[in-house]
A and B are shown apart, each in its own frame.
Chain A
Amino acid sequence: MVQKSKSNVIWKRLKKNKMAMVGLTITIGLLLIAIFAPAIVPYDPYTVDLSQSMRAPGQEGHLLGTDQLGRDQFSRLLYGARISLQVGIITQSISMVIGIFMGALAGYYGGKVDEFISYLINVFFAFPSLLFAIAIMATLGPGLNNIFIALGAVSWPGLARIVRGQVLQLKEQEYIEAIRALGGNDFKIIVKHILPNCMAPIIVTATLGVAGAILSEAGLSFLGLGAQPPMPSWGLMLSMGRTYVTTKTWLTIYPGLAIMITILGLNLLGDGLRDALDPRMKQ
């Protein structure tokens, strides 16, 4: 066994965890749906056909029924996966860039820099994050692009705090001192030697963060602050179906299920990754 790379070991551990594999399957399925949505939808999700309004699931070839404007709900849900994943991935990317940058800076340099960034993190933590996002959305106006900004801006402090803690611990390691003694500069030390060693918690936080962002988007869209009609956002669909929640139940059940399954899948995957990446789990 000369080359037993670390990712191989992690993959083996992840494979043993059944729930994580369920999560991974859901996540990959969702990705495929999002990518190939235009090719697999039976109807155009935007086409209004009032003659087909409020069909129950299964009626006239509409697998999950239609909404009040006669749009095919199944097609809209598949397109909704695109919006959800877009929101999840883009907001998490924004949050990761800010979070890792801030956390690494605070942890590595300490002193005044750390004090300032930690203070900022605490200020962010003092607000309920959804409320904060709502405030930002209210200022910027509704729309999907502003959702990226608002959710990105409120979700970085958690990651920053985790990265800061990791960096604080890692920078005292002897191999960091050794690199310094070999003539490495701060940038190289942080990017090449410290950050790769705290990848595990970053990956876990980001996976769980994607789920959180999707949920927040649904929430904001439900409140009318996020995606705007006619976008097939799951939160927006829930909101539209709310009026008929007692009579046309499929209008709320299926978008709700879509959200639930997505979040469940991502959370299972995140938890599984956390276990698999934990060095104490060495067998």
Chain B
Amino acid sequence: MKRPVIEIKDLKTYFFVEEGVVKAVDGVSFEIAEGETLGIVGESGCGKSVTSISIMRLVPNPPGKIVGGQILFKGEDLLMKSEADMRKIRGNEISMIFQEPMTSLNPVYTIGDQIAESVMLHQNLTKREAFSRAVEMLDKVGIPASEKRVHEYPHQLSGGMRQRVMIAMALSCNPKMLVADEPTTALDVTIQAQILELMKQLRDEFNTAIMLITHDLGVIAEVADRVAVMYAGKIVEYTDVMTLFQKPGHPYTIGLLKSIPKLTGNHKRLEPIQGVVPSPLNLPQGCKFNNRCPYAREKCFEKEPELVEVEKGHSVRCWFHDQLQ
């Protein structure tokens, strides 16, 4: 296996609010290698986005705080870095693209200005050089007539185009790692496919490690190499993408897969996961999924299972994973 670009070890990010402590990310560990895509799936509020802003060290403080763990990027712990050092890393070595392309660009500057700015923040280039780099990046992300488009304002571009601009900005300094927080959620389906295709292409060209956050298993199937399924701030299953779809080990993953409509086979009713996500302030005792799990037994209410490797490269957090398949 290739050398990991980033290793997250036992990351804990808590939010201290009036009603108590929200353990948004509670002991998450994973790693991503060069040119690899790790998908992180889970429903809203499971800690996906908090994991990503923790890596960027952009957790709003207060109320949020990274209370434990390590984020090893190229062997160095990001949690030990000063804010000034972090600024040098953000955008330069680790970049991020956001969910909402319509609002992720500053309306008062042309897209060329904005890409050029992200270049100039990190590289000692003149405005002219940075601008030609912007044109080059627009070409790379497949924006036609880039020479002309570079002078346009965000409101003159469609959602898909803006997301391409965001990707151009994020990749303008050739980062080692790209964090994509639901990059396709706000786009319509045909554009989604184009953007995912573009991300794959750029990943192969720049050998970037990608952390792709989504709640869409279709997107995962499309681009991810490995997948971490998160539930209530913890990883409940961690494996490669083939295994996830063929031999899911955690009841939550099984439930997610069952709730996807299928084009072929007999058309049964979909089987949704019963219940709702528990309040992060009031998580159940034992396994966090016990109140919604169809297989839950007594043990699940007493003690929380650990994430155990059930076979090589496949970890599951469930007491009864061996009896589920």
Contact = CB atoms under 8 A, between A and B. Distances in A.
Interface residues of B, number: 33
B100 A174 contact: yes
A183 B100 contact: no
Interface string B92-125: 1001101110011111110000000110011000
Contact of B121 (A111, A182, A196): A182
Contacts of A180: 58, 90
B58 A181 contact: yes
A281 interface: no
B interface majority secondary structure = loop
A197 B58 CA distance: 22
Contacts of A197: 106-108
A126 interface: no
A184 B95 CA distance: 12
A196 B100 CA distance: 21
A183 B108 CA distance: 19
Contacts of B104: 174-175, 177-178
A183 B89 contact: yes
A197 to B, nearest CB: 6
A2 B145 CA distance: 11
Contacts of A283: none
Interface in A145-191: 173-175, 177-185, 188
A178 B88 contact: no
A13 interface: no
B100 A182 contact: no
A185 B100 contact: no
A248 interface: no
Contact of A2 (B89, B151, B169, B170): B151
A81 to B, nearest CB: 34
A126 to B, nearest CB: 30
A197 B62 CA distance: 26
A193 B117 CA distance: 11
Contact of A178 (B87, B107, B109, B166): B166
Interface in B236-289: none
Among A111, A177, A178, residue most surrounded by chain B Cβ atoms (within 10 Å): A178
Given A174-B103, A196-B108, A183 B92 contact: yes
A280 interface: no
A173 B103 contact: yes
A3 B147 CA distance: 12
Contacts of A177: 58, 98, 104
Contacts of B103: 173-175
B62 to A, nearest CB: 8
Contacts of B58: 177, 180-181
B90 A182 contact: yes
Contacts of A2: 148, 151-152
Nearest to A178: B104
Interface string B184-204: 000000000000000000000
Nearest to A180: B58
B106 A182 contact: no
Nearest to B107: A197
Contact of A181 (B90, B109, B148): B90
B56 interface: yes
A144 to B, nearest CB: 37
A111 B89 CA distance: 27
B64 interface: no
Contacts of A192: 117
A10 to B, nearest CB: 12
A222 B86 CA distance: 58
Interface string A235-249: 000000000000000
Contacts of B121: 182-184, 188
A6 B151 CA distance: 13
Nearest to A199: B108
A175 B106 contact: yes
B301 interface: no
Contacts of B107: 175, 197
Contacts of A184: 87, 91, 117, 121
B153 interface: yes
Contacts of A174: 98-100, 103-104
User: Which 6 A/B pairs are nearest by Cβ-Cβ distance?
Assistant: A182-B91, A183-B91, A183-B90, A181-B96, A174-B104, A174-B103
Interface of B: 56, 58, 62, 87-92, 95-96, 98-100, 103-109, 117-118, 121-122, 148, 151-153, 156, 166, 169-170
Given A6-B153, A177-B58, A177-B104, 18 more contacts: A2-B152, A3-B151, A3-B152, A4-B156, A6-B108, A173-B103, A174-B104, A175-B104, A175-B106, A178-B98, A178-B105, A180-B90, A182-B91, A183-B88, A183-B89, A183-B121, A185-B87, A197-B106
Interface of A: 2-4, 6, 111, 173-175, 177-185, 188, 192-193, 196-197
20 contacts: A2-B148, A4-B156, A174-B98, A175-B103, A175-B104, A175-B105, A175-B106, A177-B58, A177-B104, A178-B98, A178-B169, A179-B106, A181-B91, A181-B98, A182-B169, A183-B88, A183-B92, A185-B87, A196-B108, A197-B107
